[in-house]
Every structure is written in structure tokens, then in C-alpha cells.
């Protein structure tokens, strides 16, 4: 799968940082990757996704495995309601 698409399978968190005076996004599967402080949550998310894409490409170029997504379940969603 292309890095640009794979990046959207990871778990992201966006929070306001009073210390940094901006929104900061992080990725659960790569704790070391954070966005720079941004004026909007969307800008923070886009920044961290670009960083994840770069890391995915680096993994591919170096022959390293990509991190697995947390909580990924390839099973179809079913409903117990009858």
C-alpha cells in the first residue's frame, strides 16, 4: 500500500498545548513523531501525517517493516442486534 494511504490507518491525537501556544498532533504508533505547534487542529494533523508518510517511505527504502496499526482488526463489523 502506498505510504500516502497507509498513513491514514494510524491513530492520531490532536491537543492544545498552552506551553507551545498551538495545536500539536501525535501518532500513537510513532510516539517520537509530533507536529510543530499549529494555529489549527487541521494544520497540526496535516503536518504530522506528512511526517508519517516520510517515515513510511524511509522504512520502505531501508527494507524495514512498517509499524502495525494499534487496534487494527481486519474482521468485518457485525451487529448482535436481531
Residues 24 and 35: beta-carbon distance below 8 Å:
yes
Cell matching residue 76: 468485518
**pLDDT given for residue 80 in this prediction:** 53
DSSP string, 16-70: EETTTTEEEEEETTEEEEEPPPBSSHHHHHHHHHHHHHHHHHHHHHHTPPPPPPT
Task: Tell me how far apart the alpha carbons of residues 67 and 39 are, in angstroms, rounded to a whole number.
Answer: 29
* Per-residue pLDDT tens digits for 31-73: 999 999 999 999 999 999 999 999 999 999 999 999 998 865 5
Task: Tell me how far apart the alpha carbons of residues 4 and 66 are, in angstroms, rounded to a whole number.
Answer: 13
pTM: 0.81
Phi-psi region of 63 (alpha: psi -120 to 50; beta: other; left: phi over 0): left
Amino acid at each position: 500500500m502506498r505510504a500516502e494511504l497507509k498513513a491514514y490507518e494510524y491513530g492520531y491525537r490532536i491537543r492544545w498545548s498552552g506551553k507551545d501556544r498551538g495545536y500539536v498532533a501525535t501518532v500513537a504508533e510513532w510516539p517520537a513523531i509530533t507536529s510543530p505547534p499549529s494555529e489549527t487542529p487541521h494544520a497540526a494533523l496535516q503536518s504530522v501525517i506528512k511526517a508519517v508518510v516520510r517515515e513510511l517511505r524511509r522504512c520502505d527504502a531501508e527494507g524495514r517493516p512498517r509499524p502495525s496499526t494499534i487496534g487494527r482488526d481486519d474482521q468485518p463489523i457485525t451487529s448482535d442486534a436481531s
